[in-house]
Amino acid sequence: MCGIVGYVGKEEAAEFLLEGLRRLEYRGYDSSGMATISPGSELSVVKTAGRIDELARRLDATPLSGNCGIGHTRWATHGPPNDVNAHPHVSHDGSVAVVHNGVIENYRQLKEHLESTGVEFRSATDTEVIVQLLAHAMERQGMFNGRAAAWQNSKDAEEPLLAVVAEVLAQLRGTYGLVVLFRDWPDLVMAARLGSPLVVGVDDQQHFLASDASPLVGHTDRIVYLRDHEVAVVRADDLRVVHRDEGHVRHRVQTLDLELDDVGLGGYEHYMLKEIFEQPETVRNAMRGRWSMDEATAVLGGLNLTPQQMRSVDRIVLTACGTSWHAALVGEYLLEELARIPVEVEYASELRYRNPPLDNNTLLFAITQSGETADTLAALREMKRKGHPTLAICNVVGSSIAQEADGGVYLHAGPEIGVASTKAFTSQCVVLAMLALYFGRLRHLSFGAGQRIIESLLQLPEQVEQALQCHAHVKQIAEKYAECRNFLYLGRQYNFPTALEGALKLKEISYIHAEGYPAAEMKHGPIALVDEHTPSVFLIPQGQVYDKVMANLEEIKARGGPVIAIVGEGDTRVASLADDVITVPRVDDFLQPVVTVLPLQLLAYHIAVLRGCDVDKPRNLAKSVTVE
């Protein structure tokens, strides 16, 4: 939610900043801006409501020069998306500019205090207090007195500046990833992080900053993930990191494993479509190198718990938000069926404030694509505070949740840029199936049963590929139903979470009202919605509940509702009842969500395109929700 970029080097900063903002636009896209500085001049700022294209137009009219700069793309929290509330924010005296992700919870008190000292605020944002506090503190320290000789060299000014930054950060309650640009020290920026990610790209004679790694790709593969409570002093040729409690720390430079292809459109019209078609590969990557055929189990080295500790788990809590929460529901079926462990699935936003009685041997899994979702992070922290082992199923390497969890499993699905999650969901289901196998093999599952599960999983990438062949057919079906105003999605058992996910996909990107339900539950309310204009999407692949779902389908048909059915290969019964039939390969019940969700993703995609919606950047949404 919101994207940050920064640059210090020998090149014109604006070039990297603009390109970086384009790559981060998926994180928030209601307004944007940038600021640069050249030695001896004032801070130059260009910012605007609207998309990055609008910022680019403004920059064409008013180019920014300077080798040091910061930029931001916003998802509004405090104050509407307009030119004034867009970042960067500049202090009343023009000495400091800040870009910020996160939320400052005590901004009202801080603002009132500053206003009482005569500071005039321009924006309605919480961020502006940071920049005004910084300028205020610097003024108190006498740092601007005629740009005093003692401070002219930024090396001399570094320690006092760090002290000022630390003093201001200590006053903030909430979360931040922020980068500060100073008028009087044009050869450095300072970056600070608490609960909102920031990375530094390291290169010879230049450094890059960003709120995730994607803007760095193609510029450098050396990356430093800042930790909470760290402040980085970034110059073209130097990077120093100071931790609030540990003082100066040695930063760890890691290798960034991303290519330009990973962050580009790769010939597709939208990231969402690209990511849908990446699924044969992402499903394969989730499993790669994670099998022990000798033991007929999954090898998940990052869990950081001994088999004995795993064996003593009495209960598992899965917590997540959005699409990841739907994957958690699939996980509940998987872990209960294959591992026989009681599982609870909790919305992270509810869990964080609830106080459920949990036994000692309860293990938490936070499931998250981004690793940054504020509620999921808070729920993980709360469970950790209570002493439960906390693990993560996460996609983004080095993200906050990946750092804070005791261990976990990465999805290795590559960057997911379309706001509506697709490939992360299928990878999450696969990883949860592997976990269920792993736990099952520690308990009651026989060697032979383990082998059969592995065989089924190994066939999945090919089956996903086959399932995606429904693309052209789904597009035709989308044309038929694109004007409908309500949809129902119905499925049972493993396909109940898939129904929820199908409905969410449609809502998110096409703005059509859709509800997912366990197919039998629709008799208790939603069936009242059924008429000839309300299609029901039925998930009815062969399996243990096939006949039951068939009965539910007949109930809908009896009331004149159109039915789109997702069926397994070789099905002969559904076609005589349903209006439209989409066929996917037959897979075991426990893997069905991975194939049945694919036509639902495509259906939502094509309906959204037909309705002229901005598929990758749907209104009001953001990819990574770093606020409560």
Nearest one of 288, 357, 369 to 324, comparing CA atoms: 369
Rounded least distance, CB 5 to ligand G6P, Å:
20
Which is nearer to ligand G6P, 375 or 571 (by Cβ)? 375
Catalytic residue among 2, 68, 394, 470: 2
Tell me the closest approach of the beta carbon of residue 497 to ligand G6P, in angstroms: 13
Closer Cβ to ligand G6P, 420 or 581, answer by number: 420
Q: Which residue is nearest to ligand G6P (CB)?
A: 322
Would you say 32 and 52 are in contact if contact means Cβ atoms under 8 Å apart? yes
DSSP class of residue 339 equals: I
Q: How far apart are CA 493 and CA 518, in angstroms?
A: 8
| Alpha-carbon gap, residue 549 to 490, rounded angstroms | 9
Which is nearer to ligand G6P, 377 or 540 (by Cβ)?
377
94: left (phi over 0), alpha (psi -120 to 50) or beta: left
CA distance 559 to 400: 49
Q: Nearest to residue 51, comparing CAs of 64, 33, 70, 77?
A: 33
Three-class secondary structure of residue 17 per DSSP: helix
Quick check: is 623 catalytic? yes
- Distance of CA 343 to CAs 251, 314, 329, Å? 39, 9, 9
- Residue 303: CB minimum distance to ligand G6P, A: 20
- For residues 315 and 343, is the Cβ–Cβ distance under 8 A? yes
Name the residue among 380, 582, 604 with its Cα closest to residue 478.
604
Nearer to ligand G6P by C-beta: 321 or 434? Answer: 321
In the complex, the smallest distance separating the C-beta of residue 199 from ligand G6P, rounded to whole angstroms, is: 17
- Kindly list the residues in this chain that would bind ligand G6P in the complex (CB under 6 A): 321-324, 368-370, 373, 376, 419-421, 621, 623-625
| Longest CA span, the chain | 87
CB neighbours (10 Å) of residue 125?
24
Q: Find the shortest distance in angstroms from Cβ 417 to ligand G6P.
A: 11
Two tokens, residue 249: 């720390």
Shortest spacing between CB 596 and ligand G6P, in angstroms: 18
Closest to 358 (Cα-Cα) out of 390, 314, 318: 314
Enumerate residues 6+ apart whose C-beta is below 8 A from 625. 1, 321, 322, 373, 374, 375
291 neighbors 455 (Cβ within 8 angstroms): no
Helix (H, G, I), strand (E, B) or coil at 407: strand
Task: Kindly state the smallest distance separating residue 625's Cβ from ligand G6P, in Å.
Answer: 5
In whole angstroms, the minimum distance from the beta carbon of 616 to ligand G6P comes to 11
Tokens of 49: 């409501």
Residue with smaller CB distance to ligand G6P, 279 or 376: 376
Options 47, 423, 507, 623, the catalytic residue: 623
> Closest CB to ligand G6P among 48 and 428?
428
Min CB(68)–ligand G6P separation in Å: 32
Residue with tokens 């499931």: 367
Q: Which is nearer to ligand G6P, 44 or 400 (CB)?
A: 400
Considering the complex, state which of residue 444 and residue 619 has its C-beta at the smaller distance from ligand G6P: 619
Closer to ligand G6P by Cβ: residue 285 or 624: 624
Spell out the SS3 assignment of 45-114: EEEEECCHHHHHHHHHHCCCCCCEEEEEEECCCCCCCCCCCCCCEECCCCCEEEEEECCECCHHHHHHHH
* Residues with a known catalytic role: 2, 623
